[in-house]
Every structure is written in structure tokens, then in C-alpha cells.
Amino acid sequence: MIRKIVQYGHPILRQRCQPVTEINDELIELVNDMLETMVHANGVGLAAPQIGEDLRLAVIDVSHDPECISYLRINGKETALEDAMPLVFINPELELGQDKEFGMEGCLSIQGIRAEVRRPEEVKATLPQLDGTTLVVETDGLLARALQHEIDHLNGVLFVDRLPAAAKVSMKNRLKKLLANQDPA
């Protein structure tokens, strides 16, 4: 089922989400809804708070662009991108690389706004799975950026918070306009 994606200004987007403590049929159904919603919205990632759920749960699929990374290691083994997607994970932990780069980002919860965001180029993510196993993912490129972006959502951080000061100032009016034009429902 396609879920409604909450938009900028909704309080759940600013809170640190609760850990997932139980894997049950309801959670599996939620994951399936999230994947369907992400695809329907043409996104590469979706975090549970973006559909109004206070859970440390996210999904990512960047398989539409196999050239978006230069490497992917899962649990120490080189892995093909298409074999790893979609990524579904709960209660993630993230280690950030030292070197940073700018890249264009947008967000399904901040419609119509994209901006250059400076983030670490590489990450090492520990991603508990629904089956009780854990994936340790080491990667770069779009997948590294998507992991950082979605995990930020689980911590109540939005990509616009990561903009340099000057960009934040220029973005302020556009964000105010988004808030003013929101559907009150």
C-alpha cells in the first residue's frame, strides 16, 4: 500500500526515532509499504518517519544507477550493487570517512527543493536486518550519500540542516513558502 509522505514542518521529521525492538507481521507489512511508496515517489530512499512512523527503520534502492558507486563491500566481500538492493535496515550505526565531497540532494519530504550538500565520500554502515543478521556495508558514491541521508532522518536531521550557512540563508524563504503552502490535513 502506498503511504502518504509527510512534508517539511511535520514534527516527526525533527525527532530521534525509537529503536525497532520486535520483528512481526505488522513491521514486515510496513517495510513492504515503504518500498512501494519509495518506488511510487521515484525516490532512492525512505525512512519510517517520512511516512509518520516513529521507528529506526529505512529502505534504500539505488540499483537504477549501477555506476553510482565505485565499490561495495558487504561483510568484507565485494558485492554487486544489484545483489544488495533494496537495502532494508533497522537500528543502524554509521561510521563516516574523512574525505568530503559536495553532491546534489533532494528529499521526498521537502518537495521541489534540491541543494548541494557536503558529506563524507565513504561510509561504513552496520545495518541490522529483519531476519536477525547484520550487514556491514562499506561503500561510496550515491549509496554512501543515501545511507547518510536516511540515517539522518532517523535522528531528526534533514538535508537542509547540512547546508553551509550562506545556502541556509538563501533557502530560508523557500522553506517558509513550503510551510505556508502545506495541506493542513
Q: What DSSP element (H or E) covers 134?
A: strand 134-140
* Proportion of the chain in helix, strand, coil states, percent, rounded to 5: 35, 30, 40
Q: Beta 57-60 vs 72-74: how paired, if at all?
A: unpaired
All three cell numbers of 7, joined, read 512534508
Q: Is-cis flag, bond preceding 66, omega within 30?
A: no
Instruction: Specify whether the CB–CB gap between 48 and 54 falls below 8 A.
Output: yes
Q: Which of 105, 122, 138, 150 is catalytic?
A: 150
Burial annotation 6-17 (CB, 10 A radius, 16+ → b, else e): bbbeeebbeeeb
Which residues are annotated as part of the binding site for Fe cation?
107, 149, 153
Residue 150 catalytic? yes
Just list the catalytic residues: 150
